[in-house]
A and B are shown apart, each in its own frame.
Chain A
Amino acid sequence: MEIQDIISSGLLELYAAGIASETETRQVEEWVALYPEVAAELKEIMIGIETYATANAVEPSASVKEIIFARINSSEIGRVIPIQPGGDNEFQQIGSYPYWKMVAAASVLFLIGSIALNVVTYNKFSNANQNLAVLRETVDSIQEKNIEMAADMNVVQSKYSMPVSLKGLEAAPDAAAKIFWMQNTGEVFIDPSNLPDAPAGKQYQLWAIVDGKPVNGGMILTSKKGDKYRIQKMKTFGKAEAFAVTLEPEKGNATPQGPMFVMGKI
């Protein structure tokens, strides 16, 4: 069959209408694949029909499109569900068997985590406790020192305190001490920080010279576990001409026996 005969046969028009017989349809498809002219002619026929149909178009209501899209979208979902094929058992396995397994695994993990956390927390707690104790000691000692220093400062700064410098004598020329004598109360304070440490078994003793005679002013503490005593309160004197410090046995003497270290006149 010549190409021109095919084209003019009317079979292509029949085929485009979808009313050709099965044999005719196969025949046309074969020709279309073989001859570009036939394919082009078929295309022209179809465009003709298409234009004819467009010319006779009837605009549908706007809602139709919405309904169609709603339907294809819901059928999309509908299609996905049966795609999990024979998956009932499989799904249940996924759903139920690993569930307790996961719970058990989660519990074990939680327990391990909990223990680890406890250990860590306990260690932290112990460390914190130790640190706290150290801090408390430090704070206590600082506070203690503060109180002492505040007391010292009170003595030094008091408007009634009269300072008396005790100078070093032959026994210890570099030694020195200070007396703060309260003019209102007669209280006597001594700052012994510049006295050399008293040898073992010995102790410094303060004397007030009253009417030319030495009167016991009390024992002076110079060291306490390596820490020097600062200003300390002695006996109270209403009047005195001078103050002096001698080195005496630990309990002291009624009258000065040992060497005199420092002395200061008022």
Chain B
Amino acid sequence: MEVIQKYNEDELVLLLQRQDQQAFSYLYDNYAPALNGVIFRLVEDKALSEDILQEAFVKIWNNFSSYDPAKGRLFTWMMNLTRNLTIDTLRSKGYKKQSKISGDENSVNNITDAGSGIDKFDAMGIRKQLGNLKPDQQKVIDLAYFGGFTQEEISKEIGIPLGTVKTRMRTAILELRKMLKYT
């Protein structure tokens, strides 16, 4: 990540709560590509993706007061908001989220490749490292974090019992964290 940290997260949150547009500009510059990536892997359409991104940021600005730092990181909140907005948009357009993140093996690579619009993040080899995740691990991460799938849906999608979804997620994320540490 080549992000130059101008604000720490606490400062950023404080400024955004005061409707500081400069802080919002910083927020956009630092997180819009990642959020756009989240949207893009669901919609696979550049124009639609950017429309949703636009909606997402307006929503982030207008609803910032509903963000509670005690409950999690800013990005997690924004990402879940953006993902849910994307799913809602797709539903209203008659899409089914299964059509975008399906359970077959190839889709895993497709999902990762969806981010190939920018190569600058490849520099650190993060994506290459992520490619080393076991397909099931990557799938569970994609479905849960990027697809907004419920536990039941994940269990059905991957074909594992509902009770093991949590533990599968745990191991997948642990693996992800391990990889990120070495990059």
Using CB atoms and an 8 Å cutoff, list the residues of chain A in contact with chain B. 8-11, 13-19, 21, 29, 32-33, 42-61, 64-65, 67-69, 71-73, 75
Contacts and interface: CB of A to CB of B under 8 A. Distances in A.
Given A58-B49, A72-B24, A19 B170 contact: no
B65 interface: no
Contacts of B35: 53
A104 to B, nearest CB: 43
Interface of B: 1, 21, 24-25, 28-29, 32-38, 40-41, 49-50, 53-54, 57-58, 61-62, 70-73, 75-76, 79-80, 83-84, 112, 114-115, 117-118, 121, 126-127, 130, 141, 144-146, 148-151, 165-170, 172-173, 176-177, 180
Indicate the member of A44, A56, A57 with the most B CB atoms within 10 Å. Answer: A56
25 contacts: A9-B170, A10-B167, A13-B172, A14-B151, A15-B72, A16-B145, A18-B76, A32-B71, A49-B141, A50-B34, A50-B76, A50-B79, A51-B126, A52-B130, A52-B145, A53-B79, A54-B1, A54-B126, A55-B115, A57-B118, A59-B117, A64-B50, A65-B32, A68-B61, A69-B24
A260 to B, nearest CB: 115
Indicate the member of B25, B149, B169 with the most A CB atoms within 10 Å. Answer: B169
Chain A interface mostly: helix
A19 B118 contact: no
B87 to A, nearest CB: 11
Contact of A17 (B57, B73, B145, B180): B145
Nearest to A11: B166
A49 B76 contact: yes
A58 B40 contact: yes
B177 A72 contact: no
B177 A46 contact: no
Given A10-B169, A59-B118, A68-B54, A48 B25 contact: no
